[in-house]
Structure 1
Amino acid sequence: MSRMVALLLLAAVTVVTAEEMVAVVRLTPHDVKGKNVTGNLKIVQSVPNGPVTITGSIHGLTEGLHGFHVHEKGDLSNGCASTGAHFNPENVTHGGPDDTVRHVGDLGNVQANSEGEAMINITDNIISLSGPNNILGRAIVVHSAEDDLGKGNHTLSSTTGNAGDRWACGVIGVQKI
């Protein structure tokens, strides 16, 4: 009997730890004259400490690359300006998503087509929906310019990637399944 109880407990723990976590973001425009950047994103982490996938679409961009980051605060009280800096719990310099030294929130760029639409499909091994790199309750921000991934010659390269103004943002929230 005790062996059966132990097996049932093990099965229950396995189901709980393997539960997929899902978050969503509704991007709203920042108060930028003439810009109406919007979008919807879905963030999925299939296993704890596993990779996180961000999918969705963003509309209203100019054609080309735009910086795409997780910012430290999910505060939209003053639009995207109140989301703080890039999420950077390790206090390191800005980098690209494939760099070993980077802010946790450095997700690189998204590419908008000639209609101003960017289809998002990013997988990242640093951000998480739990633990120390948890992005829940923080904000995703879409910027006006290309993120130079910390490799530019601008004074902002090492902190923001010189990605320009904040055009849209949204709080990362849990999706009830």
Structure 2
Amino acid sequence: IELIDADRRHFRLADALEEFGESEKGAVVTYVLIDCPPSLSLLTVNALAAAQAVIIPLQCEFFALEGLSQIMRTIETVRTRINPALDLQGVVLTMHDRRNNLTNQVEEDVRGHFGDKVYRTVIPRNVRISEAPSHGKPALLYDLKCPGSQAYIQLASEVIQRERARPQAA
């Protein structure tokens, strides 16, 4: 709400990150990960204005597909009006349950539409991942060996590989 009347309201995060980079003399900041709420708010637009690439987590549920089309429209609007360098790095399928026909249909539809933009790694529906926040811990600290945590480690490796292959802005 405080951003509504602010100058350069869409660029507040980008400006802050630029100031941070300038203030950290000698330090090298290679990556900044920005985690946004699922709503398409001014905070999300700020993140997209500051970002070079976007990773979209997608629950393997029917209504998530509608949300995916909304975020894609938002990304295109931000790319057109605010940040022409914004790139979709990929879509990661979450809460994936191979036993569920709907999950498999969502995966097939998303892979059919986005092709190699969809990460090979999928994050399975996993009780241990769901329990972690109630214990105040990230999943990897709560249970490193559970299938969900192992999938996140595999995803991190795949993200790094894609980032290395992505053309860098000059």
The bucket for the TM-score relative to the shorter chain is under 0.3
Greater share of strand: 1
| TM-score normalised according to structure 1 size | 0.24
Larger helix proportion of the pair = 2
